[in-house]
């Protein structure tokens, strides 16, 4: 079996789903530390005038030096309503919007308390619609030794799952101890990802958007393009 590990980014892009699709187990690394000004709590969709950011407006006091599963969502639900209005305004004429928007909106309206919870709910919804049957496991459910970091944490996770193959990102060699992984009997594969070009609204194609852009535009065919 092969596993991949990735933090639960909010509205992730297609490259993450490509990695999950190639794996037997997707480990949601929700014990990772949240980092501001990255893609942890935001991503873009494509509007008539270009990319539009959808950002969860986290307060510093609720997110500073905290891990994904500890980061609380804002109490004021206005941001959720704003996101959904923006998505509806942007994609209402997309070929498959009417099919997928109601269940997607239901995730926003759910009782999620943390950034990890809502992000995982969105990821699992998209996995279902993309027909990707990879098993999903959250690190918060694995009884891990949180003092371990980097490659040692990867080894711990894989050993607990009984997995000996690991699918890493293309730049994985920069941060992993390859000698340790080899010593532990773990075979490392690296993702080689070419972003697909698909039907997209509003002019020239823009890559690396939130994966809902593919779903609303391509519908049932979306999973074949990942």
Percent of residues, the chain, with pLDDT higher than 70: 100
Give the residue, 76 or 215, on which the prediction is more confident. 215
User: Would you say the pTM of this structure is higher than 0.85?
Assistant: yes
Handedness of CA 154, 38, 208, 128 (dihedral sign): positive
Average pLDDT over residues 198-220: 97
Cα 10 to the chain's mean position, in Å?
6
pLDDT digits (tens, 9 = 90+) for 160-170: 999 999 999 98
What is the 8-class DSSP label of residue 64? T
Q: Which domains are seen in the chain, by residue range? A: 2-225 (3.40.50)
Local confidence band at 43 (pLDDT 50, 70, 90 cut-offs): very high
**Pseudo-torsion of CA 94, 99, 104, 105, nearest 10°?**
80
pLDDT at residue 36 in the model: 85
With tokens 């532990």, the residue in question is: 184
């Amino acid at each position: 079996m092969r596993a991949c590990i990735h933090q639960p980014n909010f509205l992730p892009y297609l490259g993450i789903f490509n990695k999950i699709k190639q794996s037997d187990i997707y480990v949601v690394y929700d014990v990772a530390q949240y980092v501001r000004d990255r893609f942890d709590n935001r991503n873009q969709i494509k509007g008539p005038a270009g990319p539009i950011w959808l950002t969860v407006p986290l307060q510093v006091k609720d997110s500073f030096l905290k891990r994904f599963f500890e980061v609380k969502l804002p109490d004021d639900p206005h941001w959720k309503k704003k996101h959904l209005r923006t998505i509806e305004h942007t994609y209402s004429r997309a070929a498959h919007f009417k099919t997928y928007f109601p269940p997607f909106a239901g995730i926003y309206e759910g009782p999620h308390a943390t950034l990890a919870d809502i992000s995982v709910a969105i990821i699992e919804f998209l996995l279902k619609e993309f027909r990707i049957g990879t098993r999903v496991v959250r690190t918060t459910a694995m009884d891990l030794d949180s003092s371990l970091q980097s490659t040692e944490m990867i080894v711990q996770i894989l050993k607990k799952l009984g997995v000996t193959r690991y699918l890493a990102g293309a730049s994985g060699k920069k941060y992993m101890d390859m000698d340790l992984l080899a010593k532990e009997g773990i075979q490392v594969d690296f993702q080689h990802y070419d972003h697909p070009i698909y039907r997209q609204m509003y002019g020239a194609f823009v890559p690396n958007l939130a994966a809902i852009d593919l779903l609303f535009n391509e519908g049932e065919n979306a999973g074949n393009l990942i």
